Structure 1
Amino acid sequence: MRVWFNRGFSSVHTALSLIRQADSSGRFHLLHSHPNPHSAGARLADAFHPEPTGLTPAQYIDWCLDFCRAQQVDIFVPGREATVLAGAQARFDAIGTRMLNVASEAALQLIHDKARFYAETDLPVAPVAEFRHFENAAAFEEAHDALRRRHARLCVKPAHSIYGLGFAVLDEERSSAEILMAGAEYHVSLADFRRGLANMGNFRSMLLMEYLDGREYSVDCVGDAGRLVAAVVRRKSGTAGAGQRIDQRADILEATASLAATYGLNGLFNVQFREGGGRPRLLEINPRMSGGIGMACVAGPNLPWLAIKGCADGFEGLAVPAVRNGIRVAEMAQAVELA
């Protein structure tokens, strides 16, 4: 069977490697496309193809359909433009290509908009942090007045973002220069932030939230149209070089299964939690593989392999290895020569 991973995040390289390790019979022919011919995934795919740039979403869908026809793709795992591609599912079904989407187009749009997602998500076992939405300085001050009365520390982040870009803890004591000199990452001076907002008028959608100061958990998952097939919980360490602990917490697994059912999650995805007030709190659903998926797979389940095999043969009866709970895992960099 021919499996295509289009342009995605760096985790595509890891996924290709893990699938190749598990595919002892060579059943799956792995295709990868990317605008950069030196993409890390190009070294592991059976065939690499360049992707065009500058296309509109509609043009990119057409290009993907043409690619699937020409390459006789059986399974397509979308990365780039995954949301709009999910809306074109029927067009791919019509040419015999199964698309391993994480969710429907509507669900993906909701997940990517954290303001809407937080407002609509009801998850008692791991509720979201208290938040307010703001798009101008006046709305920020109103939100700050409401939240600061109940929470000692607050933080901000964009409603639309990846990799945690734009996240910062509001520092009420130090100036931006003092924060910079102290080397404090992900902090911004509240006074400087306020001055900046006052000069900006309206701006992109932002969230002001209670700051959660507990341990962070990352859950790498495989789903089958809303059913959680496999999940590995990684507890992140606050100490550099200490790796991460596999911690299959029952409450976090329960929350993840509930989210999968609510949003019809499918294929490979990741969920992030952080402790606050002595219990886990939901941060976000990443509708894609995480950068740390390789560490999760060290604990037993080969998640990319399970997703592809389940898509090919059906998830019922799929053998999922037990998770080696409690082990410590880490990633180690390795230098390679690019072709």
Structure 2
Amino acid sequence: MLLNGWGGLGGTGIIECMRRNPDRRKVRVVCADASPKPVLSIKADGFFILPRGDHPSYMDSLVDLCQREGVDVMLPGSGPEIVAISRHLARIRSEGMAATVDEYDRIRPLMDKAEAYRALQDEDYTPKFEHVADASSLLPAIHRMGYPEYPVCFKPSSYVASGGSRGFRVLRKSNDAMTPVVSSDEIDYGSVSRMSETKKRLDLLVMEYLPGREFSTYTLSNHGKMVYCVPNLRECMVGPRTFEASTMPADDKITNICKSIVEKFGLSYNTNIQLKESVDGKLKLVEINPRMGGSIALPAAAGINLPYMAVKMALGEPVPQNLKQARIRMIRYVSELFVEV
């Protein structure tokens, strides 16, 4: 199988999910990315450089690589690759391969977060939001969200442009000109005011700020029917990355929200749905990622190997039902790796 675009923190964990699969199947895992990834080069059975998913030569390069390496299933992990592969599933299937991603028409609404939020705007779990397309609308939208009495946040509406929480910012009354210097995800009103004067088109989702606990939920589904919903509590974050998290008991509120989203968009395979508590403790939607989440190794270690089950689903194989997970905690730590130069 091929992991493409998984050069971030979770890539090695997904490799281990495949190798430690419950069927004890011998699996060969090759990885590809747009730039060298020494850790993946060592951990995988092969590593290759491919163009970005939005490059004109990407699909030809991808198919050539998969044919050479005997790949049966592709698991795309970043926005450009997800879009490219979903648009060309017919070609991939004609070559005798499969991919753990839906057809583009199914995931297209998720590629524009404003469109996805509008599709869910009547749901209790959808936070207050406004889509800002032009600079002159930015400040009025921020004030309608409650600033300066309440913090507000914004992020790019494009799924591809905002991968890895790129562009996410929180605006608080207490923030000043030094705030963006010392914090990568906070911004001050002066900077936002200057943004509102730009001549460039904006494409931002302005939202209420959610200060409570955050849950990263991993689902496995088949054409809108949810098979598994496994929530994790994110306990320690460094930027957008989870360094400590715990499995948790089944939660009906989380399950019902995820079931609603999966059914609304008719999703299949792995979807990562991120939820956070509002100021009054209500669960609200943060993100819908039509892919595995970066900490999906946690539920696998707890007994529910969702990445491997998505591969089985893509191959047309039955997946086990009603598996239970153990209560465990994941702690990530930094370790040195030395490679020749």
- The TM-score, its normalising length taken from structure 1, stands at 0.85
Q: 1:281 to 1:25 in 2, by over 3 A?
A: closer
- The match for 1:306 is 309
- The match for 2:251 is 249
Q: Name the SS of the counterpart of 1:253 in structure 2.
A: helix
| Letter in structure 1 aligned against 2:272 | N
Conservation of the 8 A alpha-carbon contact between 2:150 and 2:172: no
What is the 5 A alignment of 1:1-339? 3-10=1-8, 11-22=10-21, 25-46=24-45, 48-53=46-51, 57-79=55-77, 81-101=81-101, 103-122=102-121, 124=123, 127-148=125-146, 152-160=150-158, 161-177=162-178, 179=179, 186-194=185-193, 196-237=194-235, 243-247=244-248, 248-276=250-278, 277-315=280-318, 318-319=320-321, 321-325=323-327, 327-338=328-339
Q: 1:123 to 1:200 in 2, by over 3 A?
A: same
Unpaired runs of 5+ residues, structure 2, are: none
Q: Name the SS of the counterpart of 2:71 in structure 1.
A: coil
Q: 1:135 to 1:40 in 2, by over 3 A?
A: same
Distance in 1 between residues matched to 2:67 and 2:95, nearest whole Å:
7
Q: 1:324 to 1:52 in 2, by over 3 A?
A: closer
Conservation of the 8 A alpha-carbon contact between 1:130 and 1:210: yes
Distance in 2 between residues matched to 1:262 and 1:315, nearest whole Å:
24
Q: Which structure's CA Rg is the greater one?
A: 1
Deviations 1:233-274 (A, max 9, x none): 111226889932323321111111221222222222211001
Alignment size in residue pairs? 329
Conservation of the 8 A alpha-carbon contact between 2:274 and 2:287: yes
Distance in 2 between residues matched to 1:123 and 1:306, nearest whole Å:
32
Q: Name the SS of the counterpart of 1:22 in structure 2.
A: coil
Distance in 2 between residues matched to 1:260 and 1:173, nearest whole Å:
38
Distance in 2 between residues matched to 1:151 and 1:227, nearest whole Å:
41
| Letter in structure 1 aligned against 2:284 | R
Q: 1:25 to 1:137 in 2, by over 3 A?
A: closer
Deviation, structure 1 residue 105: 0.9
| Letter in structure 2 aligned against 1:109 | R
Distance in 1 between residues matched to 2:12 and 2:258, nearest whole Å:
25
Deviations 1:262-301 (A, max 9, x none): 2222222211001113221111111222222222323221
Task: State percent identity of aligned pairs.
Answer: 22
Deviation, structure 1 residue 96: 1.1
Q: 1:328 to 1:6 in 2, by over 3 A?
A: closer
Deviations 1:91-110 (A, max 9, x none): 11112111221x22133332
Deviation, structure 1 residue 118: 0.8
Q: 1:255 to 1:315 in 2, by over 3 A?
A: farther
Distance in 1 between residues matched to 2:91 and 2:24, nearest whole Å:
31
| Letter in structure 1 aligned against 2:230 | V
Distance in 2 between residues matched to 1:258 and 1:69, nearest whole Å:
38
Distance in 2 between residues matched to 1:193 and 1:275, nearest whole Å:
25
Distance in 2 between residues matched to 1:97 and 1:216, nearest whole Å:
36
Root-mean-square deviation (CA), in Å? 2.9
Q: 1:34 to 1:144 in 2, by over 3 A?
A: closer
Q: 1:210 to 1:320 in 2, by over 3 A?
A: same
Conservation of the 8 A alpha-carbon contact between 2:299 and 2:325: no
Distance in 2 between residues matched to 1:74 and 1:19, nearest whole Å:
13
Deviations 1:148-169 (A, max 9, x none): 2897332222212122222222
| Letter in structure 1 aligned against 2:213 | R
- The TM-score, its normalising length taken from structure 2, stands at 0.84
